[in-house]
């Protein structure tokens, strides 16, 4: 099946008891067992639930994996990946990470004995130079949050696996979605999504996901999911399944609108830098063009007046873009990275990564583009 068809039918089947076209919400904690000696397919919803199974099969299908896992949040999914490691193991990650991921790494798992090295993931040489005998995981995020750097997944996977085929490579694919890129096809071992964002698409659920191909790794992830219990609820799984069905058509509009917004900002006299991989001046434009079907729905920018005060003034004047945490919903949202998504990152670290006080991240929604541009123009003119 082609992707648009997979989004609707991939991994799905008609519900057997009633013939329901849409997988029902099995809002139950436990399942009756008809014999002590014979286990049914489902027995307790922490282990598995039919609604979650339907979603997990859909996730595996659209990412071309063999196993999907739905968690209570994106961070819970990353937490599961880190639990496959042991004290003393090293993780190499990008120096431009989502603030919540950085917080999880530095404030929780460093206490448990994992070691983290942060490098510029745009450079394969920097990654290879950092690999040691202790390296067990490379954690990629592409496009990155919020600077929208693009990492060459295929080249990195090939280079790392040549050095040590046992090193796992995980990719946070939240910004791109499987509609735009499929990391497992490019050599990655694990794909992670904050389903909260584009996959859900309607700002009405919190969820994370992991997708893998390797059977042994899938069994380990399932055990951790079952043992630790950070599972997605049946209701949220139902909502995520509904969201995935419209993912292709939503992403088309997100991408179309984002290109228009990026060009508008690039040509505005009050705007400093514009970060969007679809602009030919972006340093990773060629990689993005090769690796992604389109360039995504997020645009970040700075003002020429780089003060926090100027950024706050813009945020107070914008109306149609909702000032809020998160992204990827049908509605446009605006985020001040320094005080919101990356507030937990120390200022020196944040500034070193290039996340300035005037950096503003736009999640461009699917509204009429004329209305979005008018809103930006009004906010910048005041």
Q: What are the backbone dihedrals phi and psi of residue 372, each rounded to the nearest 5 degrees, phi first?
A: -65, -45
Reply yes or no on whether 46 is catalytic. Answer: yes
In three-state secondary structure terms, 188 is: coil
* Active-site position among 79, 152, 172, 189: 172
Reply yes or no on whether 198 is catalytic. Answer: no
Q: What is the C-alpha separation between 210 and 171, in angstroms, rounded? A: 10
Query: How much is the CA Rg of the chain, to the nearest whole Å?
Result: 21
Show Cβ contacts of residue 321 under 8 Å, excluding neighbours closer than 6 positions.
Answer: 332, 333, 334, 362, 372, 375, 376
* Active-site position among 46, 57, 103, 161: 46
Show Cβ contacts of residue 2 under 8 Å, excluding neighbours closer than 6 positions.
Answer: none
Reply yes or no on whether 172 is catalytic. Answer: yes
For residue 176, with 0-12 CB atoms within 10 Å meaning exposed, 13-18 middle and 19 or more buried, which class applies?
Answer: buried
Query: With contact defined as beta carbons under 8 Å apart, do 44 and 89 qualify?
Result: no
Say what angle helices 234-245 and 247-266 make with each other, to 10 degrees: 70
Two tokens, residue 91: 């993780």
Q: How far apart, in Å, are the Cα atoms of 269 and each of 19, 274, 313, 351, 380?
A: 59, 12, 16, 24, 9
Reply yes or no on whether 98 is catalytic. Answer: yes
Query: With contact defined as beta carbons under 8 Å apart, do 180 and 296 qualify?
Result: yes
Two tokens, residue 73: 């949040």
* Active-site position among 6, 83, 149, 197: 197
Residues recognised as catalytic? 46, 98, 172, 197
């Amino acid at each position: 099946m082609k992707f648009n068809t997979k989004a609707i039918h991939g991994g799905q089947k008609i519900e057997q008891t009633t013939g329901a076209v849409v997988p029902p919400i099995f809002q139950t904690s436990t399942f009756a067992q008809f014999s002590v000696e014979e286990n049914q397919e489902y027995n307790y919803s922490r282990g598995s639930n039919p609604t979650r199974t339907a979603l997990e099969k859909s996730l595996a299908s659209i990412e071309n994996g063999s196993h999907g896992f739905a968690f209570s949040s994106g961070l819970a999914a990353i937490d599961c990946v880190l639990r496959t490691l042991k004290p003393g193991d090293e993780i190499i990650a990008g120096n431009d990470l989502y603030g919540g991921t950085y917080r999880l790494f530095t404030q929780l798992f460093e206490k448990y004995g994992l070691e983290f090295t942060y490098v510029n993931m745009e450079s394969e040489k920097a990654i290879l130079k950092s690999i040691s005998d202790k390296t067990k995981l490379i954690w990629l995020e592409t496009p990155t949050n919020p600077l929208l750097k693009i990492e060459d997944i295929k080249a990195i996977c090939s280079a790392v696996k040549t050095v040590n085929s046992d090193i796992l490579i995980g990719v946070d694919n939240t910004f791109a979605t499987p509609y735009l890129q499929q990391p497992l096809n490019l050599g990655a071992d694990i794909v992670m999504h904050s389903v909260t964002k584009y996959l859900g698409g309607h700002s009405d659920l919190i969820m994370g996901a992991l997708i893998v191909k390797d059977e042994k790794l899938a069994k380990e992830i399932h055990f951790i999911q079952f043992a630790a219990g950070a599972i997605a609820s049946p209701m949220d799984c139902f909502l995520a399944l509904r969201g995935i069905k419209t993912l292709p058509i939503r992403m088309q509009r997100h991408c179309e609108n984002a290109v228009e917004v990026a060009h508008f900002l690039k040509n505005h006299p009050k705007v400093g830098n514009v970060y969007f991989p679809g602009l030919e001046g972006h340093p990773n434009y060629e990689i993005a063009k090769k690796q992604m079907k389109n360039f995504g729905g997020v645009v970040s920018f700075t003002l020429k007046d780089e003060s926090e005060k100027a950024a706050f003034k813009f945020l107070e004047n914008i109306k149609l873009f909702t000032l809020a945490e998160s992204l990827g919903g049908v509605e446009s949202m605006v985020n001040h990275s320094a005080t919101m998504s990356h507030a937990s990152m120390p200022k020196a670290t944040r500034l070193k990564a290039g996340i300035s006080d005037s950096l503003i991240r736009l999640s461009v929604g699917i509204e009429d583009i004329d209305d979005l541009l008018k809103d930006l123009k009004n906010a910048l003119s005041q």
